[in-house]
């Protein structure tokens, strides 16, 4: 019954040009890492984090986990390596609009290959942040398309630095050094409505 109601809701919403959206409190990062004695490549991860949900400027720690991707040259070309990560650590410094975290991070890689592959490292990050406690997200455009919603958590932009030991699938283990940029978004929920204003095209056709 609930499933049918949800399907009916989405059909009606899509037919009217409006769709609901919702995001968990996320932290994403993209960077580059060098494996000392091995190759090097990009690193990308996205996951749910506590410090992205709590808007307090004095929150003492960050813990989270999610999906991680890196790459390796396997001879026939550079292939993506997929895995999961878990990290956490205390806030080591901060002010009204900035903060820094440091702590361990573990990664497990499940594709490609069937042999065990994982990494352990220490990561430090620094970021500029701003908390929001249910503040509205609302379109300021005067056009027919608009959005409305609410956000609770933390927006942040920063950088990270890491070092540790990494073993990728079908490869030996090597020390690793890396750095990159990070982005946080709070938990959000709302509705997005898309419409096309045909009045301009009609007026143009009439003028012709």
What pLDDT, in 10s, does the model give residues 143-168? 667 778 899 999 999 999 999 999 99
- Residue 74 scores a pLDDT above 80: no
Which pLDDT does position 204 carry in this prediction?
46
Q: How far apart are CA 49 and CA 54, in angstroms?
A: 9
Picking from 160, 163, 155, the residue whose alpha carbon sits closest to that of residue 181 is: 160
Picking from 183, 196, 195, the residue whose alpha carbon sits closest to that of residue 26 is: 183
Give CA separation, 204 vs 158, 199, 201, in Å: 48, 9, 5
Give the domains, in start order, of the chain with CATH numbers. Answer: 21-207 (2.40.160)
CA dihedral angle for residue 82, residue 83, residue 89, residue 94, rounded to 10 degrees: 20
Strand, helix or coil at 42? strand
8 Å CB contact between 166 and 121: yes
- Residue 138 scores a pLDDT above 50: yes
pTM for this prediction: 0.79
The string of pLDDT tens digits covering residues 30-42 is 999 999 988 888 9
């Amino acid at each position: 019954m609930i499933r049918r109601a949800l399907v009916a809701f989405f059909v009606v919403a899509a037919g009217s040009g409006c769709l609901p959206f919702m995001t968990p409190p996320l932290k994403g990062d993209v960077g580059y890492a060098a494996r000392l004695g091995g190759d090097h490549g990009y690193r990308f991860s996205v996951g749910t984090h506590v410090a992205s949900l709590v808007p307090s400027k004095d929150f003492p720690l960050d813990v989270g986990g999610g999906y991680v991707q890196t790459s390796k040259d396997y001879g026939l070309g550079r292939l993506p390596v997929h895995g999961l990560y878990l990290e956490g650590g205390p806030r080591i410094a901060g002010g009204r609009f900035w903060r820094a975290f440091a702590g361990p991070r573990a990664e497990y890689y499940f594709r490609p290959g069937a042999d065990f592959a994982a990494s352990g490292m220490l990561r430090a990050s620094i970021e500029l942040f701003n908390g929001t406690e249910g503040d509205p997200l609302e379109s300021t455009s005067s056009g027919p398309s608009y959005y409305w919603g609410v956000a609770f958590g933390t927006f942040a932009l920063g950088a990270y630095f890491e070092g540790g030991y990494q073993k990728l699938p079908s490869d030996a283990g090597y020390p690793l050094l890396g750095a990159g940029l990070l982005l946080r978004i709070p938990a959000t929920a709302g509705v997005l409505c898309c419409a096309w204003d045909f009045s301009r095209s009609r007026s143009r056709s009439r003028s012709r």
